[in-house]
Structure 1
Amino acid sequence: MNASSREPAVRPRAALAVLAGAQFAVVLSTSIVNVALPAVRDGIGLSDGGMSWVVNAYGLAFGALLLPGGRAADLFGRRRVLLAGLALFSVAALTAGLATTPWLLLTARTVQGAGAAAVAPAALALVMQLFPPGPGRGRALAVWGAVSGAGGAAGVLLGGVLTESLGWPWVFHVSAAGAALVLGGTVLLVPPGSTPAPDLRRLDAGGAATAALGLTALVYGFTTAGRAGWGSAPVLLALGAVAVLLPVFLLLERRHPEPLLPRRLFATGPVATANLLMALLGSVWVGVFYFLPLYQQQVLGAGPLVAGLSQLPLAAANIAGSAIAPRLAARTGPATALAVGLLALAGGLLWLSRIAADGSFTADLLGPTLLTGLGLGIAFVRLTGAAVTGVPAADAGLAGGLVNTARQLGGALGLALLGSLAASATAGYAAHHSRTEALTEGYRTAFLAAALVIAAATALTPRLARRTAAAGPALRPAPPTAPTAPTAPTAPTGH
């Protein structure tokens, strides 16, 4: 019996469930700690400033290492990198839950973010491998979009339940257990396929290092600016580092025979425009999950559990939007479907900009969050598909890393800008109004700015359509009779 006969049978739906579980774990760990932060601060002795780094340490490592993680998946095997990332993620999450000192907790969160940076692009690349272009891929991306949106809302809900019932360490223990479960499922259900021989000479170490450092400095600068101000020394130093690292990165990319970001990735198809739109979508996505719980807790007086439960309609609408996205695209065309999703999202955000200081969930939040969630689901599925359309098979992991980087980077920068706008509006309103009225004005301003961002993104959808059309036959699905296409479910090359 040879090695290949011992591999698990190819069951694309079961493999998709496992890979979607990996994405769910990554997104869940971004939001599950939000509601638990005050309890974490009191339980482990963090300062108020240190409390924010429980979130930022994960986000910085995740965002900075996504591109190297995606490239490593292409060079060393996607399934292999996925398994390593899940193991690192699980051990780091367990360590965070067992931590008794701030430095250990923040170190564990950083390592957990590094593990997530390997998991997300490798899992997406494997999905693209298992499902060739066509209706099957559309349905797979719908599942991917549903779990991505549901993970954010589920994190807020689960964080509130666990913190109030079992204590804050369990928000990390649950993440560790979930990643371990997905790791076992990957071993059993995701076929190994052919894996490349590891070759460190092909890895653009200089490009990976400068990209990671540059993205870290950029995200740190924008994140810190919301708290310390744009003229503060840490922000100016971080942005100055970006100004130095960016040209160094471009120089290294031109000289390396296999650069981290090869030009061929952007040569055809809608990849560049799709990633720009994903960054704009990410800037709003993070803001929605940040400002909604704050409004409910600081203005409406809801507790952590109620604030978490209130995310369920948003999550349900997001799942519904992800489910209908492929059918909408089939009926109206991909560009029109994307425009519909973005317009629905902009409408929901504009509706949220009318929240009241004496409002309620039913009157002020239920309707707009349903519309917002529906638009988010449709737009995310369409943009994820566009960002990997026409990408050479050898670069699938990198394309997955790039679209995740765009969303993560857009989220960090967008939240910093929206947070600054909200803080300025609150400060200007506070002199002649109550605290809750001033806070509400800040949140209204943030939601209005987010609606304008998505309206601008909608204006770019015709360009995305032109780029897709210009790529021509290269982006069309292979005919059913094509022999053993590398992405066909019957002959995967799962790395």
Structure 2
Amino acid sequence: MTAHTADSQPITDPHHSRRWIILALTLIAQFMVTLDATIVTVALPSIQTDLGFANQLDLQWVINAYVLFFGGFLLLGGRAGDLFGRQRLFLTGLVLFTGASLVNGIADDPTTLVIGRGVQGFGAALVSPAVLSIIIVTFQSTAERVKALGFFTAVTASGSAAGMLFGGLLTDYASWRWIFLVNIPIGLVGIVGAIRTIPNSKAMTGNVRHMDLPGAISVTGGLTVLVTAIVNAQTWGWGSARFIWMTVAAAALLTAFVVIELRTSHPLVRMGLFAKRTISVGNAMMLTFSGGLFVMMFFPTLYLAENMGYSPIEIGLAYLPWPVAMMIAGSVGQRLIGKAGPRLLLTVGLIFVAVGLLTFVRLPAYGSYAADVLPGMFLTAVGAGLVFTPAFMVATTGVAPEESGLASGIINTSQQLGAALGLAVTSSLAAGYTAHLLAGTGARDLTAAMQSSALVEGFQRGFTVAAAIVLASALIAAFGLRKADFAQNSAGADGDVQDAEQPLPAAPAV
């Protein structure tokens, strides 16, 4: 007996009988990739001290290098798996991710670490879509596929929470280097297991292989140049020739990306998709939402370490309520979608996030975790939990089945790239304002209290801008969506639709 999928090579009995082993291997890799998105957060202050990062602007590249390359090559990774084989893509991604983890673990300067983080992000961009594709083509029956995807969702959700805790434990009791080195044995198990058990299934496209590599390079290059310009703007000057030329170069690369996508026969992103309101509104909303929310992975960490003197394990425990509250709110939100509708749920959730960010605007130089950090953490987590599911639903509504994977990939890309741009803007503005406050103070006159106060005022400026960005996202949701956008899909949640190969979105990075 041979099982088939709609667009894949047949899965034969020998492979089918090992399907739960295959699931375990892919979920181990998914857990590692998801864990790495948050495990580094807690270690940032230790990394800054040990490797000599000059300031928080340079330090944010430890996060942004990963996010930029992950988001920039995510769609290419999904396409590569269909064309060259999912096992091959999975192995390539794991090898890159594991090798980069080793480099990061032994890095002795900021440049090496940032480059290694970029390679890790590229590896994650290959692993993440391969994991979901392998699960979908391995499990043929509706019941088993739903069960397998349930495990996938649980692992991706728990990975973020575990990253906070493990990051603190490893950094406190070993070294920040072990947040990367711990990936090596996990990656090796995944590589060996994949070679022995996972078939190299691929889409049935004959001998024609089309890879939009120019599109992937132009969009990732354009965004990297833009982020670099924003990060350095307060040093160069927002009106400086260097900033202007970097911005022009970024615009040229991003324009080239659009031209490439419009002209190539097999684009990375079919631009015609954005003619549909739910696609364009959903991605604009996700871009701005992620751009504001992602400061929660950066500013609170520095505040807890530098102003409140928290150790890495204390930071990890302090962050733990955030992913937990997000998961609980997400579960509640899934139950409310049918009653409240996506637009109302999105608007309310985004307002929660904005209010949560605004609570940090009154952050004192030496505050209390319970009074000054936890309320904003809780509100942003609840709001984000309410937003993620309907946001992904909106961005894939009304899409033809054969393009559902593309739509899902685009919204994930918007999430990652929005996070990178938002963190670049807010950290640059925060650091610039702190520098401005300290500019008239001589080195001899500068006290620890003055430095802490200026640092927090910079954070406050960053949180204010982040809240404004999220409020813009709420306006996009409230006025950009219509009830009619979802009416056509209300009857489509039965039978064949549930069994269709429509990939779930990858786990959010935050």
> What TM-score, normalized to structure 1?
0.82
Deviations 1:136-167 (A, max 9, x none): 989969974x7666545543443332122222
Alignment match of 1:327 (pick from 327, 335, 339)? 335
Deviations 1:46-103 (A, max 9, x none): 7668765444433332233223223323444455433432332123213332446766
Deviations 1:339-379 (A, max 9, x none): 22212212222222232224200111222211211111221
Per the alignment, residue 310 of structure 1 pairs with 318
Per the alignment, residue 230 of structure 1 pairs with 238
Per the alignment, residue 451 of structure 2 pairs with 435
Deviation of 1:446 after TM superposition, in Å, equals 2.3
For residues 398 and 409 of structure 2, what CA distance do their matches in structure 1 show? Answer: 16
> Which stretch shifts more, 219-228 or 370-379?
219-228
Deviation of 1:322 after TM superposition, in Å, equals 2.0
Deviation of 1:422 after TM superposition, in Å, equals 2.4
For residues 197 and 206 of structure 1, what CA distance do their matches in structure 2 show? Answer: 21
- Kept in 2, the 8 Å contact 1:121–1:397? The answer is no
Alignment match of 2:120 (pick from 88, 112, 115)? 112
Query: Do structure 1's residue 445 and structure 2's residue 467 form an aligned pair?
Result: no
Per the alignment, residue 59 of structure 1 pairs with 67
- Kept in 1, the 8 Å contact 2:93–2:125? The answer is yes
Deviations 1:294-345 (A, max 9, x none): 2222222222222222101112111212222211213322222222221221
Given the superposition, is the C-alpha separation of residues 247 and 449 from structure 1 closer, same or farther in structure 2, using an over 3 Å criterion? closer
Deviations 1:408-448 (A, max 9, x none): 22112212222233234435555798333333322223223
Greater relative contact order: 1 or 2 (C-alpha under 8 angstroms, separation 6 or more)?
A: 1
For residues 41 and 488 of structure 1, what CA distance do their matches in structure 2 show? Answer: 38
Alignment match of 2:105 (pick from 97, 100, 103)? 97
- Kept in 2, the 8 Å contact 1:131–1:487? The answer is no
- Kept in 1, the 8 Å contact 2:330–2:385? The answer is yes
SS in 2 for 1:390: coil
Deviations 1:374-428 (A, max 9, x none): 1112212221233233334444443343222212221122122222332344355
Given the superposition, is the C-alpha separation of residues 181 and 335 from structure 1 closer, same or farther in structure 2, using an over 3 Å criterion? farther
Per the alignment, residue 412 of structure 2 pairs with 404
- Kept in 2, the 8 Å contact 1:153–1:308? The answer is no
- Kept in 1, the 8 Å contact 2:75–2:413? The answer is yes
Deviation of 1:4 after TM superposition, in Å, equals 0.9
Given the superposition, is the C-alpha separation of residues 369 and 84 from structure 1 closer, same or farther in structure 2, using an over 3 Å criterion? same
Per the alignment, residue 281 of structure 1 pairs with 289
Per the alignment, residue 374 of structure 1 pairs with 382
Unaligned segments of structure 2, at least 5 residues: 3-10, 442-448, 505-510
Alignment match of 2:40 (pick from 25, 33, 45)? 33
The 5-angstrom pairing of residues 438-477 of structure 1 reads: 438-463=454-479, 465-466=481-482, 469-470=484-485, 473=488, 476-477=491-492
Q: Which amino acid aligns with 1:30?
A: A
Given the superposition, is the C-alpha separation of residues 349 and 100 from structure 1 closer, same or farther in structure 2, using an over 3 Å criterion? closer
- The alignment's C-alpha RMSD in Å is 4.1
Deviations 1:242-298 (A, max 9, x none): 222233223322321122211343344622211111111211222011111122222
Per the alignment, residue 171 of structure 2 pairs with 163
- Kept in 1, the 8 Å contact 2:60–2:424? The answer is no
> Which stretch shifts more, 197-206 or 43-52?
43-52
Q: Which amino acid aligns with 2:343?
A: A
Query: Do structure 1's residue 391 and structure 2's residue 399 form an aligned pair?
Result: yes
For residues 231 and 502 of structure 2, what CA distance do their matches in structure 1 show? Answer: 39
- Kept in 1, the 8 Å contact 2:227–2:420? The answer is yes
Q: Which amino acid aligns with 1:442?
A: G
Query: Do structure 1's residue 172 and structure 2's residue 180 form an aligned pair?
Result: yes
Per the alignment, residue 217 of structure 1 pairs with 225
For residues 60 and 483 of structure 1, what CA distance do their matches in structure 2 show? Answer: 33
- Kept in 1, the 8 Å contact 2:167–2:179? The answer is yes
Deviation of 1:464 after TM superposition, in Å, equals 5.2
SS in 2 for 1:202: coil
- Kept in 2, the 8 Å contact 1:342–1:454? The answer is yes
Q: Percent identity?
A: 36
SS in 2 for 1:413: helix
- Kept in 2, the 8 Å contact 1:321–1:374? The answer is yes
Given the superposition, is the C-alpha separation of residues 201 and 453 from structure 1 closer, same or farther in structure 2, using an over 3 Å criterion? same
SS in 2 for 1:477: coil
Unaligned segments of structure 1, at least 5 residues: 490-495
- Kept in 2, the 8 Å contact 1:223–1:413? The answer is no
Q: Which amino acid aligns with 1:477?
A: G
For residues 359 and 126 of structure 2, what CA distance do their matches in structure 1 show? Answer: 37
Per the alignment, residue 445 of structure 2 pairs with none
For residues 183 and 207 of structure 1, what CA distance do their matches in structure 2 show? Answer: 29
Per the alignment, residue 493 of structure 1 pairs with none
Query: Do structure 1's residue 423 and structure 2's residue 438 form an aligned pair?
Result: no
Across the two proteins, how many residue pairs are aligned to each other? 485
Given the superposition, is the C-alpha separation of residues 284 and 464 from structure 1 closer, same or farther in structure 2, using an over 3 Å criterion? same
> Which stretch shifts more, 77-86 or 279-288?
77-86
SS in 1 for 2:383: helix
SS in 2 for 1:36: helix
Alignment match of 2:363 (pick from 343, 350, 355)? 355
Given the superposition, is the C-alpha separation of residues 228 and 24 from structure 1 closer, same or farther in structure 2, using an over 3 Å criterion? farther
- Kept in 1, the 8 Å contact 2:161–2:324? The answer is no
For residues 22 and 124 of structure 2, what CA distance do their matches in structure 1 show? Answer: 21
For residues 53 and 482 of structure 1, what CA distance do their matches in structure 2 show? Answer: 42
> Which stretch shifts more, 350-359 or 362-371?
350-359
For residues 27 and 229 of structure 1, what CA distance do their matches in structure 2 show? Answer: 36
Per the alignment, residue 495 of structure 2 pairs with 480
Alignment match of 1:301 (pick from 301, 309, 312)? 309
Query: Do structure 1's residue 340 and structure 2's residue 355 form an aligned pair?
Result: no
SS in 1 for 2:40: coil
- Kept in 2, the 8 Å contact 1:279–1:411? The answer is yes
Deviation of 1:115 after TM superposition, in Å, equals 0.5
Query: Do structure 1's residue 208 and structure 2's residue 223 form an aligned pair?
Result: no
Q: Which amino acid aligns with 1:162?
A: L
